[in-house]
Amino acid sequence: MNDYEYKQLRQRAIDCNMVEVCGRLGIELGPRGRWRECRCPNPQHEDRDPSFKVNVNTNRFKCFSCGVRGNNIDLVQMVHGCSYSEAISFILGNSVSYVPYSKPLPEKSQKNDVDIQWLRGLVSAREYYRCLSPWAQEFLKERRISPNLIDRLGIVSIDRPVATQRQKLTSSKGKLYTPMFPAPSLLFPYRDENGIVINVQARLHTRKEGQQRFHFPVGSHTSLFNPRVTLTLPDGADLWLCEGVTDALALMTSGRPTLAIASATSLTREASDFIAAQATRLHLHIYPDNDSPGEALYQKLLALCPNIRRHTLPDGIKDFGQAWAQGIELS
Ligand SMILES: [Zn+2]
C-alpha cells in the first residue's frame, strides 16, 4: 500500500459515523440531539457525570471534565489502548488487510514507537531506589517468592500510570495519550540471553472490569522470559517451562531452572524455534495449569518437543504458583 492509499483509509476511518463507532466500542450514548452524551470512556478518568459528548454535526468527541477530545481514531486508541493502525483497522472492519501490526514483531528489534531506552531508565531508576510498594511486597510474600530472586530479576512496582515525556507532551496539547503502563502494577523486566532489558511487562494489581491483567507497551510483545537460564545449564540438565512470569517466580524460588512463555496464544516462530532447540540438549518439564488453556499450551509444546515431561498438579490446584504458595510438596 502506498501513502496515498493509506491516507484514503485514514480519512474513511475519520469520516465513519462516530455514534456507530461508539456502539461498536460498547459506549452507550444518551438520547438524540446535536450532542449525544455519556460517562467518559477514558480509562484514566473515573467520570461520575455524563461529561463525555459526541457532536453529531462535526463527528468529534470531547470530555468536558478531563478534556480528552478528537476523532474516531483518537477515540478507539483511547478506549482500546491500541496503535494508530489498529484503530483504523477496527473502525473499517477486519476486511482491511494492510495493517502491519498483525505481523509478529521480531524479538530483539522493538517497534520504533516503544522507547526501549526510556523503559530501561524506568526500571533501573526504580530498582536503584528499591521501589516495591507495600502491596507489591505483600503480594510476593503471599506467593512465597524469594526476596533475593526479586532483587536479582530487578522486579519493581509503580503506584501511578507512567508515560514517556513525549506522551506527556502530546497530552498537554489536549491530545490523547495512552500511558506506557497502567497502575498499580508490578513491572517485570524481560532480558535477552545477555541480560540486557529488551522489554518490560506490567502485571496490574487491581483491575477495573474488563481490564487485562498483563500489559506490554502498546505495539510490543516479547515471548520468552528468562531465556538466559539456558546458557547456565549443562547438557542433560532439567529445564522447566511455564506460562507467565508469576508461575516462573514460584518455580525459580523452588530451585527449578525456568524458562517462561509470556502467553501461549502469542508464541512467535522465533520463540518456538528457541524452545525446540533447548529440547535437543536439555530435559524439559512442565506442570500444565489445571484448565483448558494450560492443556492447550502443553499440547503446543508437546508438538515442539516430543520428549517434554508432564507433571500433574493435585486436584483443585490451578497452577504451580498456587501449590507453591500453599506449601504443597511436589515432585
Ligand atoms: Zn473524561
Q: 242 CA distance to ligand 1 centroid (A)?
A: 40
Distance 65 CA to ligand 1 centre (A): 5
Q: How confident is the model at residue 49 (pLDDT cuts 50, 70, 90)?
A: confident
CATH code linked to domain 3-102: 3.90.580.10
Residue recorded with cell 500444565:
288
68 C-alpha to ligand 1 centroid (Å): 6
First to last CA, the chain: 55
CATH 1.10.10.10 fits 225-325, yes or no: no
CA of 328 to the centre of ligand 1 (A): 47
Q: Where are the domains of the chain?
A: 3-102, 116-222, 225-325
pTM for this one?
Answer: 0.65
Q: Kindly report, residue by residue over 154-201, the tens digit of the pLDDT.
A: 999 999 888 776 666 666 666 556 678 889 999 999 998 888 889 999
User: Which pLDDT value is given to residue 182?
Assistant: 86
Å from CA of 79 to ligand 1 middle? 11
**Orientation of helix 3-15 relative to helix 72-80, angle to 10°:** 80
User: pLDDT band for position 263 (50/70/90)?
Assistant: confident
**Cα 52 to ligand 1 centre (Å):** 6
Measure 182 CA to ligand 1 centroid, in angstroms. 16
C-alpha–C-alpha distance, residues 234 and 313, integer Å: 27
Q: What is the pLDDT of residue 105?
A: 37
CA distance 15 to 146: 54
Considering the segment(s) 116-222 as one domain, its CATH architecture is Alpha-Beta Complex (3.90)
What's the CA-to-centroid distance between 47 and ligand 1, angstroms?
6
